[in-house]
Every structure is written in C-alpha cells, then in structure tokens.
Structure 1
C-alpha cells in the first residue's frame, strides 16, 4: 500500500506506529486513493478513508497533489514496505451523531435514487437512507417510481440504523 524510495523512506516506515498522527504531502492520486509522502515514504490513503461523505466522484474532489494533509496511520507492514493511512479517522463519525440525535424522529430528506426495491433519501450531507418498497404497500404502489421522483422533498422516519454496515432504514411519512 506504499513504496519506499530509499533508505530514508525505510527509516520513516520503521518509525511509524498504528494510531500515530502525522503530517504529509499528497504525492499522487489514483482511482482507488491517494499516496501521501511522509519524509520520503509514500503511504496509501484508500478512497474509503478519505472522507466520511457518502459519495464523491473522484479522489481529486477530496485532495490534490501537493496538498499538505494530516493523517492517522492505520496499518504498517515492514516486510512488504507498506502502510495505510486515513484522513477521516481524525474526525468523529457523523453517523454516530446522526443516530444519537435523529433516531426515531421524522425528518425531511431529498430523494437521491429510485430503485425497484425502494428509494434512497438523502437525510444528511454525508449519507442517505433507504425507504424500502414494503413501506409503500399502504399507498397501493408496487412501483417506487410512481411515488418518488429524484429531487422530491419527503418526510421520513428514521426507524433503524446499522452502525457496522452504515445503513439507515427509513419509513415514509405523509
């Protein structure tokens, strides 16, 4: 998940520890993440570790080459000369705060996607929840497309949150 350019990079790698916070510079951007240079050692920030945001189009939407960043060391593999880093680990998980404040409440959201099994409704800037098709049965609708349009504002109840799988289950409210 990284590469060492020289002995200096190897020395930096050997000094890294899981959980350590470091400053570095984004050295390259790939589809799957960004490499960060810390004193000659280049470690990977996987795309999933860039931000808590639930969607972004490209790694370059989050970081750019030459940008100074602060990272948390997730893993170090001396034998393979690799290390993985995280940018988002520096910040609290917004889903935890959302769950604490919004669980069981009826809140406004915006329809993001409509699928055959239900609709995804954005209920926070960083995530969306699912209103499953079963929720539509009392509306005499088998087709979510007959109820939802992308961009519709809807009122939904937050009925379940799976923190581990990062899933939010919503119920449609009129």
Structure 2
C-alpha cells in the first residue's frame, strides 16, 4: 500500500503499467476495498501493507490501473441469498433507525432494511420512537 487518500487507495504494483506521475501505481476506489460498509479506508488497509487485488480496467485517460480488493472475497449477499428462503424468520441487531425504516445487522456483513410500512402492517406516526434505544 503506497498511500491512502480520501476517495482511493494507491498501490505500488509489483509489475504494473507506467503512470505519468506515479509509475507502477494501481488505484482502488473506496467501494472496491470491502463488501461491508466502512467509514475509513484504514479499517481495511494500512500504508505499507501488501495486498492482492483483481484488475478491473485500465483507465486510458488517466493512465491508471483500477483494482478491486473485494473482488477476491466471497460476496456476503450471494452467500446470504443461497442460504435464506422467502418467509424465513431472521434475527439481527438494530443498527440505525432513519426516517425510511430500520437497518438490521444480520451478521456476516449483511445489513437488511425493514421499511416502516412493513412494521406492524401499517405506517406509524413516529415509527423511529418504537425502536430507539
């Protein structure tokens, strides 16, 4: 890992294309770091850490190799879909309660949304108050 920026991570490639200002650099955009939600890239990588990524594309305009770290990891949503059936009762931990519904952590990197219209079968006047801690 060569550098961590606000919107991407710069990787010094062992064997990569030339770059006008950063020769042999590859770039990982924040959404390509992990399947799970992260608040900062440092939750996944540190400067100096060796990583493996999948080549996504070469941006000819900026002369940059675009990489993905999450592409080499199993997709938790696909695993969840493979083991879950419609109508199955699920348990989880309430993560947050915005105006649209309830976000529930189901484990293994899967966060689900229960829209308020599905809570008690009808919209509630102040639904968030029902689930606040």
Per the TM superposition, whether the score is higher than 0.5 is: yes
How far off its partner does 1:139 sit?
6.8
Q: Residues 111 and 149 of structure 1 are in contact (CA less than 8 Å); yes or no, is this contact kept in structure 2?
A: no
Comparing 26-35 with 137-146, greater Cα deviation is found at 137-146
RMSD over aligned Cα atoms: 1.9
Aligned to 1:165: none
| TM-score for both structures, normalised by structure 1 | 0.65
Query: Unaligned regions of 5+ residues in structure 2, if any?
Result: 15-22
1:100 aligns with 2:75: no
Aligned to 1:29: 4
Equivalent residue of 1:115, what SS? coil
1:38 aligns with 2:20: no
| TM-score for both structures, normalised by structure 2 | 0.83
* Number of positions where the alignment pairs a residue of Structure 1 with one of Structure 2: 124
CA distance in 1, matches of 2:97, 2:72: 33
CA distance in 1, matches of 2:116, 2:60: 49
CA distance in 1, matches of 2:109, 2:120: 29
Aligned to 1:62: 44
1:52 is aligned, of 16, 27, 35, to 35
How far off its partner does 1:43 sit?
1.1
Query: Unaligned regions of 5+ residues in structure 1, if any?
Result: 1-25, 151-174
Aligned to 2:55: 73
